[in-house]
A and B are shown apart, each in its own frame.
Chain A
């Protein structure tokens, strides 16, 4: 089974900061996804990638961008963090979830 590692478990950032969330897999899966989870809203897809240097917008891409320079790493970027981006961020490879990053923007 693939192992999905998210670099930070908890993160606190200030409004306006540029934030990088990293996701790394230990196999050769092509499909990688970023979701955010909010109470009452379930999990919503932000961006996904089916290959290196390839990216597709999900349902809520506004305020985010992504980078996939190597197959094993998929980064989610908050260009200018805002308080409404306070959330749990989950990386998925195939159908395997990382442990999540709980981001608080103050």
Chain B
């Protein structure tokens, strides 16, 4: 089956720093999403981004489908950005998501 790899596995930042998280996938996909899991366990959808670039405040994401990777940019990080960031891919219009193992981000004040 399709493999989804995320890097780095862990990241520690000082507040105000910028970061880039990467997601590689092994086959063509119909959909790619980025999720944030807060320290209490709730997962929130950040971006639905099968291709191209999207921005939402301090976060932006770019997916290059032909090269099978996606990047999540976090600028001017805040302590509330802490948590785990997952990317997930979908083949076909099934809602069936295949997740990477996540990047654990800790933003220190």
Contact = CB atoms under 8 A, between A and B. Distances in A.
A41 B101 contact: yes
Contact of B102 (A31, A42, A94, A95): A42
Contact of B86 (A42, A45, A48, A102): A42
Given A43-B86, A99-B42, A100-B41, A92 B97 contact: yes
A59 B41 CA distance: 22
B50 to A, nearest CB: 13
Interface string A10-37: 0000000000000000000001010100
Interface residues of B, number: 21
A105 interface: no
Contacts of A31: 94-96
Contacts of B96: 31, 33, 45, 48
B97 A99 contact: no
Interface of B: 1, 33, 35, 40-45, 48, 86, 88, 94-102
Interface of A: 31, 33, 35, 40-45, 48, 50, 59, 88, 90, 92, 94-97, 99-100, 102
